């Protein structure tokens, strides 16, 4: 399996776009200008992450190290759509609480603590490969809405999806329709991550990630990404 890097939390883009690029074939145009469109698959994720403000020493070093370790288009980068503002938050809590100390009140040597999601949703049944719908059990969350992102996991590998239709609610369970199709089977009871959804992506070209530093001190690089198929 290819190397997998995770984008650190202190490296965040100013502008971003995640979308599913459909796989389609186009027929010839008629005299009226119309063209038949055939859908061959539900597509794959592409993303544009633009103008990362890289201004601190740690950001510069981490950026350089990540881009170098990806070896162009070969390595995998775990990155999310940065969509905290639209997560199904519970009450007034944020999607994730950070800085939680150990039981004795101490934190890690770098001053950080544990993180804990305030959104708790699990699968109510097994999901096969290529599934596009699921029943989930909502233990603690706000309303689920069409257009929300979520991830499920195969070990440490996330698969990113988006709800495409208004969920059907019955008690503490919700039936959701989503795209793209599930990349791997997932067992009942597994976590459905609406708090910190992530995708596994590759650089769209070997030239991505170049960091030009103004006066050797700061830069605003960008990334074009495509969904990774490494390990699937």
Specify the pLDDT at position 186.
98
Q: What is the DSSP letter of 163?
A: E
Cβ atoms of residues 147 and 86 within 8 Å? yes
CA pair distance 20, 27, nearest whole angstrom: 21
pLDDT, tens digit, 9 for 90 and up, residues 24-60: 565 566 656 666 655 566 899 999 999 999 999 999 9
What structural domains does the chain harbor? 1-25+39-80+198-232 (3.30.200), 86-197 (2.40.30.290)
- pLDDT(182) > 90: yes
65-83 pLDDT, tens digit each: 999 999 999 999 999 999 9
List, for residues 52-66, the tens digit of each pLDDT value: 999 999 999 999 999
Among candidate residues 86, 92, 45, the one with its CA nearest the CA of residue 195? 86
pTM of the model: 0.85
């Amino acid at each position: 399996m290819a190397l997998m890097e995770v984008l650190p939390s202190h490296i965040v883009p100013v502008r971003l776009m995640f979308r599913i690029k459909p796989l389609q074939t186009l027929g010839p145009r008629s005299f009226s200008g119309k063209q038949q469109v055939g859908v061959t698959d539900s597509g794959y994720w592409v993303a544009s992450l633009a103008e990362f403000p890289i201004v601190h020493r740690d950001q510069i070093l981490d950026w350089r190290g990540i881009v170098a370790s990806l070896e162009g288009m070969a390595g995998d980068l775990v990155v999310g759509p940065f969509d905290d503002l639209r997560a199904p938050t519970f009450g007034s809590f944020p999607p994730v609480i950070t800085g939680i100390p150990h039981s004795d009140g101490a934190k890690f040597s770098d001053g950080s603590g544990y993180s804990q999601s305030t959104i708790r949703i699990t699968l109510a049944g097994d999901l096969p490969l290529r599934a596009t719908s699921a029943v989930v059990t909502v233990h603690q969350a706000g309303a689920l809405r069409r257009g929300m992102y979520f991830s499920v996991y195969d070990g440490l590998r996330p698969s990113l999806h988006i709800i495409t239709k208004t969920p059907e609610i019955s008690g503490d369970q919700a039936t959701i329709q989503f795209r793209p199709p599930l990349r791997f089977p997932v067992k009942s009871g597994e976590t459905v991550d609406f708090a910190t959804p992530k995708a596994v992506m590759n650089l769209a070209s070997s030239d991505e990630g170049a960091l030009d530093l103004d006066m050797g001190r700061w830069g605003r690089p960008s990334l074009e990404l495509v969904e990774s198929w490494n390990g699937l």
